[in-house]
Amino acid sequence: MSITAPEELKPTSSGKIWKCCVCGYIHTGKKPPKECPECASTEREFEEVTDKKKLRFDGKKFDVLLINGSNHRANNTGYMVDLIEEVLKERGTSYRRFNVNEFTIDHCWCCYSMRDNACRYPCRNQRDEMPAFHEMIIASKAIIVASAINWNNMTARLKDFLDRLNC
């Protein structure tokens, strides 16, 4: 298996570039493959590779932050989040939905283990997209977090997300 950094990818005349949101497999073609050859995810888990900008919060308040912590955004947990989203729309509730696997969220640096006041808000790690999530959490009235169950626990990506809320 060869791994190519996203910044090295450029569309070709033979088609678009697609990335599996579960394992990162890269496919070139007019459409994504029916199934990922690396992790067996369906074509619904592929997204077209584009010039992605770092997530920023626009400062507008809203009611509910909806977080899908599943690696498979189009499977069971994603379906349940879709149902929640429908209810929020029906009730006229403002919300923002995010699939954690589509964002860069680093592990917690465990600053608290160095000294009590080292872990603070804003988080010392400003390199990933978590600072925007911190701002959205503050701006929202409620947070709904959904996760698949992996080995009797939440997904690893969601664990990283939640660990970063300690500051």
Q: Above 50 in pLDDT, residue 150? A: yes
pTM of the shown model? 0.76
Q: Could you say which of 3.40.50.2000, 3.60.130.10, 3.40.50.360, 3.40.50.10890 is the CATH number of the domain covering 62-163?
A: 3.40.50.360
Residue 127: CB atoms within 10 A of its CB come to 10
Cα gap 117→101, rounded to integer Å: 30
> Residue 100 has what pLDDT?
94
6-48: CATH class: mainly beta
Question: What residues does CATH 3.40.50.360 cover in the chain?
Answer: 62-163
Q: Which of 23, 84, 43, 88 is nearest to 62 (CA)?
A: 88
Question: What residues does CATH 2.20.28.10 cover in the chain?
Answer: 6-48
> Residue 13 has what pLDDT?
56
Q: For 30-50, how does the pLDDT look when each residue is reduced to its tens digit (9 = 90+)?
A: 999 999 999 898 999 898 988
Cα gap 69→102, rounded to integer Å: 10
Q: For 6-37, how does the pLDDT look when each residue is reduced to its tens digit (9 = 90+)?
A: 444 455 556 899 999 888 899 999 999 999 99
